[in-house]
Amino acid sequence: MPQAQLDTSNKTPVNVDEIYTPVQDDLVKVQESLRQIVPPETELLANSIAHTMQVRGKLFRPLLSLLASGASGKIDDPHIETAAVAELIHVATLLHDDVLDKSDMRRGRSTVRALWGNRVSILSGDYLLAQASLKLSRLNNCRLVSIFATVLSNLCEGEVEQVRASYNLDVNWENYFKKSICKTASLFSACCESAGVLNCHTESEIQRLKLFGEKFGIAFQIIDDLLDYTSSAQALGKPVLDDLKNGILNAPILIALETFPKGSNEYQKLQGLIESLFQSEMEPNDQVASQQELLALLDNIDAIEKTQVLAERYVREACEAIAFLPDSPYRQALFDLTCYATQRQH
């Protein structure tokens, strides 16, 4: 695991509402842009798209995109449309992920897959990607097309990497970060890179904005992993330890695996617990017992705390990347957003 030394003395809770304040009006415009996507003519597809777009999250990626735009210069119509593109791509990936992960619940609601089946879920995701492409084409900016095309390529590569590494105890940090950058951080970095491009920054400054998004995206993914062990099914809107049950070794497990020498009694015990949770046919009572034993083991070696510190390290590196930006409510909100990401409970 990468070594991290961090002053964690300042744990003041972040006021989430204050993060949204600088771009509240702009987020309303993003929502209006999302409502204006061309509705499918096929009733079944139209119903699935309507169901999907009603499950509004926190518009986290549009928020990031708009704050990066404001912090790096201005927010106008192209920035609004780019933020909407980021959200469409994100929602499309969720529709595809639900099929790959066989998920029936998302944010506490039935998934499109659960209601209409895998094919409709996949086609709904494809439709949203098509709408994102249409929005990009209307901006007449080849650099933006290239940025988001790279995101789509990375998303596919990251998914394949995750499938390849599934149910494999030999996964290492290199595999983990490659998957995290492709599946999560690439869209974060695109939001920030595109802000620099639209605001005509130098190439060096654009790359620093991109780096901010990538580092922040890695931290966000690490905390997402952490919540799989510390949050509740109700808060997450999906079962706890869902990654592990789907054969995915995430950050707390990687920390635990490297804590014990291979072949030691502790390593073998950990390996046995992981492999038992891989078993989909496991009796519910046995599964609960394995979960509790695993959580106790993680607690004994401070794996949760170490995971938190690792995320905070990437947050610090992210903030250092945009120190060149002038002080403004937007830049402060970006800093606060990174802090909130490490404090979130769902």
Q: pLDDT of 43-83, one tens digit each?
A: 999 999 999 988 667 899 999 999 999 999 999 999 999 99
C-alpha–C-alpha distance, residues 71 and 244, integer Å: 38
C-alpha–C-alpha distance, residues 85 and 33, integer Å: 9
Q: Which tokens sit at 212?
A: 């901010």
Computed from CA positions of residues 240, 245, 248, 250, in that sequence, does the dihedral angle turn out positive or negative?
A: positive
Closest CA to 319 of 238, 230, 214, 240: 214
In this structure, the strands spanning 105-106 and 109-110 are antiparallel
Q: What's residue 6's pLDDT?
A: 36
Q: What are phi and psi of 106, to 5 degrees?
A: -145, 120
C-alpha–C-alpha distance, residues 171 and 255, integer Å: 11
Strand partners, 106: 109
CA angle 291, 294, 298 (to 5 degrees): 135
pTM over 0.75: yes
Q: Evaluate whether residue 48 is within a structural domain.
A: yes
CA angle 35, 111, 89 (to 5 degrees): 45
Quote the crossing angle between the two packed helices 77-100 and 186-198, to the nearest 10°.
Answer: 170
Q: Which tokens sit at 168?
A: 């494999």
Q: Which amino acid is at 147?
A: I
CATH, residue 36: 1.10.600.10
Q: Evaluate whether residue 252 is within a structural domain.
A: yes
Q: Evaluate whether residue 175 is within a structural domain.
A: yes
C-alpha–C-alpha distance, residues 266 and 256, integer Å: 10
Closest CA to 83 of 152, 17, 135: 135
Q: Evaluate whether residue 263 is within a structural domain.
A: yes
Q: Evaluate whether residue 1 is within a structural domain.
A: no
* 3-class secondary structure, 218: helix
Q: Evaluate whether residue 84 is within a structural domain.
A: yes
Q: What's residue 177's pLDDT?
A: 94
Q: Which tokens sit at 196?
A: 């620099």
Q: Evaluate whether residue 9 is within a structural domain.
A: no
DSSP structure string for 40-85: PSSHHHHHHHHHHHHS----HHHHHHHHHHHHTT---HHHHHHHHH
Cα-atom radius of gyration of the chain, to the nearest Å? 20
Q: Which tokens sit at 89?
A: 């791509």
Q: What's residue 280's pLDDT?
A: 66
Q: Which amino acid is at 127?
A: Y
pLDDT tens, 212-252?
Answer: 999 999 999 999 999 988 875 445 455 668 888 888 899 99
Print the domain residue range for 253: 16-339
Domain count, the chain: 1
Q: What's residue 316's pLDDT?
A: 97
Question: What CA–CA distances, in Å, run from 82 to 36, 65, 182, 200, 316?
Answer: 14, 8, 19, 15, 26
Q: What are phi and psi of 302, to 5 degrees?
A: 60, 35
Q: What's residue 174's pLDDT?
A: 93
**Which positions of the chain have pLDDT values less than 50?**
1-9, 233-234, 236
Q: Evaluate whether residue 181 is within a structural domain.
A: yes
Closest CA to 59 of 22, 24, 104: 24
